[in-house]
Structure 1
Amino acid sequence: MNIGLFGYGKMGRMIEQIALERGHTIVAKVDVNTTDVNYNGMDVAIDFSTPDSAFHNITSCFEHGVPIISGTTGWLSDYDKAVSFCNEKNGAFIYASNFSLGVNVFFELNSYLAKIMSGLNQYGVTMEEIHHTQKLDAPSGTAITLAEDIIENTDYVAWNSEKENERTIPITSKREGTVPGTHTISYESKVDDIEIKHTAHNREGFALGAVIAAEWIKGKSGVFSMKDVLNLR
């Protein structure tokens, strides 16, 4: 499979390494200084770029009939426009705040636990996420997804960096060293605590999931998620 990489930082290089190990070919490496992109011969594109360039990268792939998956966060105010344009162009698109296979299992566990806890008002929920010091957005896209899944399955109405009221999920964001990503969700009461946690040991899991998603989406059209890739629906 011929893959175009949009964004060639640490994640882009890790994706390249794993893609090559799985027998694929990298036909384009698009970064901030790239002025001309050759879409010919791209079977699929993988976008781990920047919030400022993600929407352009994604819609350009739709224009050229190239399926694209994106793990870039911070651009989601334009997500609905991207979905609409994808459908208009009969394109193929997956966005995920986190492509790690383990994290996507964690998403499912979080949703299931939230449903169980929804009727137990004696517990209050809090969240903590820890990432490396070079991560610019806070809270992380993964933490936001986790919070939104809790809101969908309970009577919590919002998340925030502070506990505004009883129906707000407080998210604590920490930036430490080279931590790839740790997310902890705690339900606390006067008598006990319940906690689930995902700890990434390196970026390889994120990159592997992105390549697997790219392999899955080739030849398809529509807007999908990692639930489709992992058959979790």
Structure 2
Amino acid sequence: MRIALFGYGKMGQMIEQVALKRGHEIVAKIDEHTPNIDFNSMDVAIDFSMPEGAYSNITKCIENNVPIISGTTGWLDKYKDAVALCESKNGAFIYASNFSLGVNIFFELNNYLAKMMHNLPEYKVSLEEIHHTQKLDAPSGTAITLAEGIISNSEYSKWKLDDNSNGSLPITSKRIGKTPGTHTVTYDNIVDSIEIKHTAHNREGFALGAVTAAEWIIGKAGVFSMRDVLNLG
């Protein structure tokens, strides 16, 4: 499989390592300064670029009939536009806030727990995410996905960063050292607490998930998620 990397930072470099180990070829490493892009050279593109460039990368791939996997966060105000374009062009597109296979199982656990806790209002829920100091966005896309899962299965209508006023679901974001990513969901009551937690030990899990998604999407058309890749539906 011929893979183009949009963005060649730490994640792009890790994706390259994983892809090569799995027998794939990296045919392009593209950033905002790349003058000419040969879309015919690639079977699939993986985007871990900067938020300000992600939407452009995604649309260019869709317009050139290249399946695109995106893990860039911070651009989701244009997500619906990307979906509409993909559908109109009969393209193939997967966005995930986190491609880690373990995190996507964690998303499912989070949704199931939220459903179980729905009729127990005495438990107050909160989210905490911890990442490395170089992470630019807060809260993380993963934390937002977790919050959305809780909101869709509870009486909460919105989340707020470091704020539980007006019944909002609070998310606490911390930036500590080189932490790859830790996410904790806590249901707290006066008598006890229930907590689920995912801790990433390194970036390889994110890279493996992205390459797995790229392998899966070849030959398909539509807008998909990691639930489709992992057959969790």
Partner amino acid, structure 2, of 1:216 = W
Partner of residue 165, structure 2 = 164
| 1:20 matches 2:20 | yes
Corresponding position of 2:77: 77
Give the Cα separation in 2 of the matches to 1:77 and 1:158. 16
Deviation at 1:35, TM superposition (A): 1.6
Hey, what does 1:142 align to over in structure 2? 142
Structure 1, residues 58-90: CA drift from partner, whole Å, max 9, x if none? 010011110001000000011010001111111
Shift of 1:113: 0.1
Matched to 1:205, the amino acid is G
Whole-Å Cα distance in 2 between the matches of residues 52 and 139 of structure 1?
Answer: 17
Q: How many residues align?
A: 232
Partner of 1:41: 41
SS in structure 1 opposite 2:165? coil
Matched, 1:64 2:64: yes
- 1:152 aligned residue: 152
Counterpart CA distance in 2 for 1:140 and 1:64 is 30
Specify the alignment match of 2:107 in structure 1: 107
| Partner in structure 1 of residue 201 of structure 2 | 201
Deviation at 1:207, TM superposition (A): 0.3
TM superposition score normalised by structure 1: 0.99
Q: Using the TM superposition, give the Cα deviation of residue 32 of structure 1 relative to its aligned residue in structure 2, in angstroms.
A: 2.6
Cα distance per residue 1:194-224 (max 9 Å; x no partner): 0000000000000000000000000100000
CA distance in 1, matches of 2:196, 2:107: 11
Counterpart of 1:118 in structure 2 is 118
- Between the aligned partners of 1:158 and 1:58, the Cα distance in structure 2 is 28
**CA distance in 2: counterparts of 1:32 and 1:81, whole angstroms:** 21
Q: Secondary structure at the match of 1:20?
A: helix
Determine the C-alpha separation between the residues in 1 that align with 2:63 and 2:188: 49
How far apart in 2 are the matches of 1:60 and 1:155?
39
1:31 is displaced (CA, Å) by: 1.3
Partners of 1:35 and 1:180 in 2: CA distance: 32
1:50 partner amino acid = M
Question: Separation in 2 of the partners of 1:52 and 1:38?
Answer: 22
Secondary structure of 1:219's partner? coil
Report the AA paired with residue 164 of structure 1. Answer: S
Q: TM-score, normalised by structure 2?
A: 0.99
Which 4+ residue blocks in structure 1 deviate beyond 3 angstroms? none
- Tell me the secondary structure at the aligned position of residue 110 of structure 1: helix
Q: CA deviation at 1:41?
A: 2.3
In the alignment, what sits opposite 1:31?
31
CA RMSD in angstroms comes to 0.6
SS at 1:160's partner residue? strand
Tell me, in whole angstroms, the C-alpha distance in 2 between the residues paired with 1:114 and 1:13: 36
Q: Which amino acid aligns with 1:134?
A: Q
Identify the residue that residue 222 of structure 1 maps to in structure 2. Answer: 222
